[in-house]
Amino acid sequence: MNILKFFTAGSVDDGKSTLIGRLLYDTDSILADQLEALQSSNRKNDDGTIDLAILTDGLRAEREQGITIDVAYKYFQTEKRKFIIADTPGHIQYTRNMVTGASTANLAIILVDARNGVVEQTIRHSYLVSLLGIKHVVVCINKMDMVDYSESVYTNIIDRYKTLAQQLKLKDVTYIPVSALKGDNIVQRSARMNWYEGESLLHFLEKVDTDNLDQSQLARMPVQWVIRPQTEALHDYRGYAGRVLSGTFKLNDKVTILPSGASSTIEKIEFFEQAPEAAHAGQSVIIHLKDDVDISRGDTIVNASALPQESKLIEADLCWMDARALDTSIMYVIQHNSKTTKCKISEILHKVDINTLEKHQADEFRLNDIGRVIIKTADALAFDLYDDNRANGSAILIDSRTNLTVGALMFRAAVE
């Protein structure tokens, strides 16, 4: 059995939390005591039925205001698969929390209110989905109960979205008309929309391919920790502990250590009392090398015949996530896997207007702004382009004054 990680996106009140509540409810994933708490809660739908959104709106402020503020993670499983869901907020003010939920997912559910169609937040979130390289997108046209389950309403909206999807180069998009409130097409196919020939949302989620394990040749392992027991019995023991980001390492593979550029060969792979012949993407292991090279946290072990890029000047897409605007005159810290180094944003190339998706000149970057920048780092980074290798093509920016995470970076090119 494998895991599918997905998240819900869309504008405020489009029904993201309700949809997740409905999925959990209709798959019988809500336990009796939680249900009891729901029933005794004073937040109810107009017709007196329980409000499924409060299953994920776990904070007092969220329940009071009837909105989602921060990501909630929910878990359920069917006979076919395990699911990790991130319910993200629709409010523009909390976009950074939406990005948090999206960054680890491999599928996005974008909700559109059938009465309103594609709105600004739909475009913004769809743009973020394309920027973050989320593989699969399911567009749920929600609240179909409020438009008499009308096929033409549905068709009009998906025609509009298809144009957007093309603009954003979203490749794999599926459309489903639903009512999260009434449960139409969520777990069971709805009898009220016979004109719809596709499958229910759950059915689709159960069979969409996940391959969240990267099978590329780009073998990379950032060293997190060096294991040196320094006991008498293990006097010379020196193991490099880390999680394989991508690709596969095998015994006797030639590897390069970056940034030093030193080369060596894999002598042994260890995983808690086992010595497997290979370490694959996603696995946390210990690697031993044949040569005595100087390696510490922040270094990356890579396949010698498929080297990443190395540069101190990188072109990247930036999502700004702090209330304090970007300051191009100060130094920030960039964290790229286990490596941290100082950096500056040396140039803002453009900002993207979220309504028109047009690029325009800008000299400031404020909360929720998205655009392209050039970043200059103190130490060179060994990275891949985000589209080739998400795990080694992303980084965060930290403001040393506050220690807050202020930006998400997706590497697009090394600047010559």
Give, to the nearest 10 degrees, the angle between helix 151-167 and helix 120-131: 40
How far, in Å, CA of 410 to CA of 319, rounded? Answer: 9
Size of the site for another protein (CB under 8 A): 72
Q: Which is nearer to ligand GTP, 34 or 346 (CB)?
A: 34
Tokens representing residue 206 in the block: 């159960």
Counting contacts by CB under 6 A, is residue 351 touching ligand GTP?
no
Short-list 111, 117, 118, CA closest to 19? 111
Counting contacts by CB under 6 A, is residue 347 touching ligand GTP?
no
Count CB neighbours of 46 within 10 A: 6
Counts for the chain of helices (H) and strands (E), in that order: 7, 22
Report in angstroms how near the CB of residue 30 gets to ligand GTP at its nearest: 16
Task: Report the DSSP pairing between strands 309-320 and 370-383.
Answer: antiparallel
- Show the CA angle centred on residue 240, arms to residues 410 and 280, nearest 5°: 60
How far, in Å, CA of 346 to CA of 312, rounded? Answer: 11
Report in angstroms how near the CB of residue 114 gets to Mg ion at its nearest: 17
Short-list 36, 43, 40, 48, CA closest to 17? 43
**Residue 179 contact partner, candidates ligand GTP, another protein, Mg ion, none, CB within 5 to 8 A by sort of partner:** ligand GTP
Report in angstroms how near the CB of residue 149 gets to another protein at its nearest: 32
Counting contacts by CB under 8 A, is residue 39 touching another protein?
no
**Residue 213 contact partner, candidates Mg ion, another protein, ligand GTP, none, CB within 5 to 8 A by sort of partner:** another protein
Site for another protein in 47-76 (CB under 8 A): 55-61, 63, 69-75
User: Cβ(121)–Cβ(10) under 8 Å?
Assistant: yes
Q: Near ligand GTP by CB under 6 A, which window of 11-19, 153-161, 200-208, 352-360?
A: 11-19
Site for another protein in 75-114 (CB under 8 A): 75, 82, 84, 96-97, 99-100, 103-104
User: Cβ(298)–Cβ(324) under 8 Å?
Assistant: no
Q: Which is nearer to another protein, 278 or 374 (CB)?
A: 278
Counting contacts by CB under 6 A, is residue 70 touching ligand GTP?
no
Site for ligand GTP in 134-173 (CB under 6 A): 142-143, 145-146
Report in angstroms how near the CB of residue 399 gets to Mg ion at its nearest: 28
